[in-house]
Amino acid sequence: MLSLADTGFAEATWIMVAKSVVIFAVIFGVLPVLTVVERKLIGRFQHRYGPNRVGPYGLLQPLADVGKLVSKESFRPENATKTLFILGPLLPVLAGVLSLAIIPWGNVQDGVGFYGIDVPIGILYFFAVGSIAFYGLLLGGWSSGSKYSLLGAMRSAAQLISYEVSMGLALLGVIMMSGSLSLVDTVQAQGEMWFIVPQFVGFLIFMLAGFAETNRTPFDMPEADAELVQGFMTEYGGMRFGSFLLVEYMEILVVSGIAAAMFLGGWMGPGPSFLDPIWMLAKMIGLVLLFIWVRATLPRLRYDQLMTLGWKVLLPLATLNVLVTAILVVVFS
């Protein structure tokens, strides 16, 4: 049980429950829209319309997709490890929902914090929970009893190790400037200037690593539809496959949320304070659109290029960024 001293003020239980429900409802309302927005945008990037048959402008497409996935058989290969195979898609969903809790939507207003919870360890929580999501991937791939799945899972593991370090280092610069791990404090520290200006390199590294973390092109090695037939998800069908897809979008939202809070001033924006969550959501959606734009542009990296980029470019660059930031922080304080 978290002591109330840590959050700085007391909140009634029902407020916390209501907050969770609202965050959950908003995110799960946005997710299906995101899938259709992505497909339509990718279509536009390729001179196509994208889905436009189901409902007006194809907006009901996610409904049809979910209907299809739910009605499919949840197939399990004979040589799959049963419990782990079922656990595989569940862990990432759990981790994704958990990491939604720390995304700050606004400051404390009338005794209610506009966030799930303001953990003092903020970013560390994000990394811890994000790593649990990868367990789901690994377990799912390994327990499928298929070589493609195993290859995809191995790639995921290598990718996670290569990019999580740079991701953490990229955020270290911001943490040094704000002097706090808490996301709420970090956003408040950006009152004068968004951290994207002094920490532009950090932002780039974080976004690059974010692409790798969420298995998006150009780092979608674990899935690699062309060579690995969806990698770790090969043997999954029905809603289990669907939850992997869902998690991908949820992770994109979470990474966008962290990036928006750490670099883009979070809920800061003109207008009255009740618009704060809207600003936050707008910044997140903007970053998600960037994800889609990059997906439409870049081809998948080769495996060795992925490793080279992670270890030889991003890691030294992130370390340099941290060093320079540390020196500047000491000099100017």
Partner 1 sequence: MSAGNGFDPRSASYLDSIEVVEVQRGPDPGGVGGAYRAFGETLRGLKTTMARLIEGPMTIEYPEEKTPVYPRFRGRHKLHKFEDTGLEKCVGCSLCAAACPADCIRVVAAENIPGDRVSAGERYAAVYEINLSRCIFCGYCEIACPFDAITMGHDYEMADYDRRDLIFTKEMLLAEPVERTPLKSEGE
Distance, in Å, from the CA atom of 146 to the CA atom of 151, rounded to the nearest integer, reads 9
What are residue 107's phi and psi, to 5 degrees? -80, 180
Q: Interface with partner 1 by CB under 8 A: which range of 68-76, 84-92, 260-268, 310-318? A: 310-318
177 binds partner 1 (CB under 8 A): no
298 binds partner 1 (CB under 8 A): yes
Q: Interface with partner 1 by CB under 8 A: which range of 70-78, 122-130, 137-145, 296-304? A: 296-304
Nearer to partner 1, 48 or 147 (CB): 48
* Smallest gap from residue 115 Cβ to partner 1 (A): 32
Task: Indicate left, alpha or beta for 119 from its phi (over 0: left) and psi (-120 to 50: alpha).
Answer: beta
Nearer to partner 1, 193 or 298 (CB): 298
Interhelix angle 122-143/147-178, rounded to 10 degrees, is 180
294 binds partner 1 (CB under 8 A): yes
Subset of 181-200 contacting partner 1 (CB under 8 A): none
What are residue 104's phi and psi, to 5 degrees? -85, 130
| Binding pattern for the stretch 18-57 against partner 1, x by CB under 8 A and - elsewhere | -----------------------x-xxxxxxx--------
# chain residues binding partner 1, by CB under 8 A: 20
The CA-CA-CA angle for residues 32, 221, 95, to 5°, reads 50
Nearer to partner 1, 90 or 289 (CB): 289
* Smallest gap from residue 161 Cβ to partner 1 (A): 19
Residue with tokens 């994109």: 252
Task: Indicate left, alpha or beta for 7 from its phi (over 0: left) and psi (-120 to 50: alpha).
Answer: alpha
What are residue 49's phi and psi, to 5 degrees? -90, -30
Q: Provide the binding-site residues for partner 1, judged by CB under 8 A.
A: 41, 43-49, 204, 293-294, 296-298, 305, 308-309, 312-313, 317
